[in-house]
Each structure stands twice: as structure tokens, then as C-alpha cells.
Amino acid sequence: MDPLADELNQTIRKNNPALYEMLSPFGTRIFFPKGILSQSAEAKQKAHLFNATIGIALEHGKSMHLDCIHDWVKDLDPDDVFPYAPASGKPALRELWLNKQLAENPSMRGRNFGSPIVTSALTHGLALVGDLFVGPGDTVVLPDKFWGNYRLIYGVRKEARIVTYPFYTPQGGFHLEALRRTLESEAAGGKKLVVVLNFPNNPCGYTLTAGEAEGVTRILTDTARNGASLVTVLDEAYFGLFYTEGLMTESLFGHLVNQDERLLVIKLDGATKEQFVWGFRVGFITFGSHSSADLGALYQALEKKTLGAIRSCLSNGPHVSQTLIWKGMLAPGYEEQRAAKFSLLKARARRVREVLALEKYRGAWEVYPFNSGYFMCLRLNRVEGETLRRHLLDKYGVGVIAAGGKDIRIAFSCIEEKDIQRLFDILHQGVLDLEPQS
């Protein structure tokens, strides 16, 4: 064990022994080295004459660059574009995102949690959770409607055991009792469980109601207080895209953080969908725990382990993306422009509900409840999802996702409101083409 890793482990163990036990084997070994990066950071503060520490080139006191590239972002200072960003992300963006979290989630105010760390979007954040907390044979608990990449990240890369429970009740709400029973069964003997919650959900486009959110909070806190160690991962890639009344429009993070030493809460959010910058690859990971000792020292140790994990795989995220998001969030008209795009998506979701209520579709499929995000799902009654997907592509030039068995996922986010009925008419005709003729 490297002495730096051992020092971080001792800090975590001292301030939250249960959290230390949640670390994966890699999580215990990883550390942030006192090497080039830390020496360069120190030199940036103190080297007032010459700074010959970091592997970039300077010219006339600015980052060396090609004008033919800078011309595309010429309104930005070269030093906000071309140098490496810190492994933890651009400090000004981290502070701005923290303020955004607090503004949009009143329940987080007054709570004690770590500072958001920049990730290379949400997938990288999920992978960092895997690095730090998931080892071979660990149990990851998911609803049966989940984003397929979770299986790659945790099942394939980390060799974890995936356990699922029914997402929906027969009446159509979130299946609180199934979650409770699964955690109760899997946590027997005080086991560590990694629980992934994704709202708004991909693929179903479902967000918890306020009452369901209270139920989830109660189930998780009770499970931790009964002796299980829970790494609770909140994948909030589509945060803010809520289209109906009565939903939980805050993150569960503020309700779960600081509740119990056995309840680690990890909030994953980002600009990707919230700000419609999918290719920028900028997300955030925020840790929340509990300690009767020094929570600040605990978060510092977790951050250093996270930075070590970042350093060991991609070093740091893209600087220009972080700068553009930071500048955009401070620009006049930012909130108004976001609200306008939200209104477009909300109108599309409303139109989908109107169209799916038409009598002519009855019998072809069942509609899974949806109220948020980019997606909705149908359960086909008599046709397999993959069969319909291929048929729609080959005969009509229409693409949908076969989400397993008889389920198909439709991204209404990328369909203009005026085209929504035509899309579902084509889906319906495709079903009729394939249904056995009586």
C-alpha cells in the first residue's frame, strides 16, 4: 500500500469506519500523487519569476496556440481554452455548479456535503463510482427498467452481481414495496449494496411523485440504520425536465445526505442534457455522507481518491467545454433560453400523451407511465420489440430502440411536435403488418 493511499484510508476510517468498508479493493489502493500536478499547482501560486513545471508551451505569457483553431473561439482567452484543466475541474465552474445545485434543491441547503468534482460527463461519473466502491462479486441493485450501460460499467467492467426489482407497480407507480423487499433480502447480514436510482428514468421517462420520493428516502435510511452499508448512486442526467404536477422536482440527495454513517449518497448530474451540450462531456460527482467526527476531512480524502482515479485514466477533462458552460451559465438570457427549450420538450411530451390516448391504438400496446426526461416506453401486446424495430427500419425508415422483450423506447425529445402523431401512426401500422392475421 502506498503511504499516501494509507494516509487517506486512515482519514476515512477515523471519520467513518463504515464508509471505509464500502471502498473497493481499487478504492483502498488509489491516491492522488504528490507529483507533477501538485508541484505545478504550488508553483502556479508561488513561482512569480519563472514557472517551468507543467507540460504546455507558452508564448508572450499566454498559452501557445494555432490561430486557425483559436479563431473558432476567438472571444475566449487562450488560457481558458488551451491549457489543461485541473483534475477536479475548473474552480469557477465547480463553484457555479454548487450554487446551481443549492438554488434548484432547497433540501440541500444547510446540509454538509462535498464540493462537486468535474467528470467527463455522467458515464465517467458512474465509472468513478465503480472504481471506488464496486469490486468483483459486489451487489448492484437496479430496477428492471434501466439504462443498459449500467450492466457494462458494473456487471462487465467491475464483475458485480446485478440484482433487479420491478420498476412499476401493477397500477403504474414506482414499486416501493419491491425496492424495500429487495434491499431487505440482499442486505441480510449487513452486506454492502450499491443502489442506483435514475430519475428522470432512462428508458421510461418516469420521475417519482413527492409521496414516492418520501417512501424511497424512508426505505434507504431504514435499511442503513438496520445495519446494511448503502452506496446510493443518484443518476440525475435529465434533472429538471419535469412535465407534470405532483412530482419530486428536487434531487433525493438533500433528503438522504447526513442521515447515517452507513448511507453514502453520490449525486451525478451535469450539463449534457440539462444544457443541451451532449458532446461537451461535462458532468459532476458530489459526495454526501455522515460522521460524528470530521466530515470535512472525510470529503477531502474522498476527493483525493476521486482525483487519483481521474488522474489514472484520463488525467483531466476538456478545458474548453468547461469554459463554454461556465460562460454560458453567466451569460444574459441563459435562464430564459433554457426555459424556452424546456417548454418545447414539455409540449412534445404533452402531445405524445394526447396521441397515445387515441382509440385506434387500443390493443396494439400498453403505455408505461412517463412524466419527464427524453423518453417513453411502450409494451407491445402481440409483437416482439426487436422484430418491430427491424421492420420499422426496413419498411418505413423509422428508428426506435428495442428495450428487451416486448418493450420499445421512443425518444420524443428528437421528434418535432407536428410529427408526433405521424410517428405513432407508422409504429401502429408496423404492428398491424406483423400481427398474425385472423
**CA neighbor of 287 nearest in space, from 272, 317, 309:** 309
Q: Where are the alpha helices (DSSP H) in 32-190?
A: 36-46, 67-70, 91-104, 121-133, 149-150, 176-186
Q: What is the predicted pLDDT for the residue at 435?
A: 87
* C-alpha–C-alpha distance, residues 286 and 104, integer Å: 15
Pick the CATH number of 3-32+87-330 from 1.10.10.10, 3.40.640.10, 2.60.40.10, 3.40.30.10: 3.40.640.10
Residues 6+ apart with CB under 8 A from 165: 141, 142, 143, 144, 175, 178, 179, 181, 182
Cβ–Cβ < 8 Å for 355, 421: yes
Q: What is the value of pTM for the model shown?
A: 0.95
* C-alpha–C-alpha distance, residues 433 and 388, integer Å: 9
Q: What is the predicted pLDDT for the residue at 37?
A: 66
Pick the CATH number of 337-434 from 3.90.1150.10, 3.40.50.150, 3.50.30.40, 3.20.20.70: 3.90.1150.10
Burial readout 257-283 (b: 16 or more C-beta within 10 A, e: otherwise): bbbbbbbbbbbbbbbbbbbebeebbbb
Which pLDDT tens digit goes with each residue over 202-227? 999 999 999 999 999 999 999 999 99
Give the cell for residue 76. 475566449
Q: What is the DSSP letter of 160?
A: P
Cβ–Cβ < 8 Å for 351, 420: yes
**CA neighbor of 93 nearest in space, from 340, 275, 288:** 275
CA angle at 300 for the pair 299 and 303, rounded to the nearest 5°: 85
CA distances from 130 to 105, 111, 200, 271 (A): 26, 25, 21, 21
Which pLDDT tens digit goes with each residue over 363-398? 999 999 999 999 999 999 999 999 999 999 999 999
CB neighbourhood size of 68 (10 A): 7
H/E run at residue 255: helix 253-256
Residue with cell 452499508: 229
Same CATH fold assignment for domains 3-32+87-330 and 337-434: no
Cβ–Cβ < 8 Å for 426, 396: yes
Between β-strands 283-288 and 365-367, what pairing exists: parallel, antiparallel or unpaired? unpaired
Beta bridge partners of 375: 411
Domain residue extents for the chain: 3-32+87-330, 337-434
Q: What is the predicted pLDDT for the residue at 437?
A: 66
* C-alpha–C-alpha distance, residues 97 and 81, integer Å: 19
CA distances from 11 to 5, 31, 264 (A): 10, 12, 16
Low-confidence ranges of the chain (pLDDT < 50): none
CA distances from 146 to 150, 243, 369 (A): 8, 20, 15
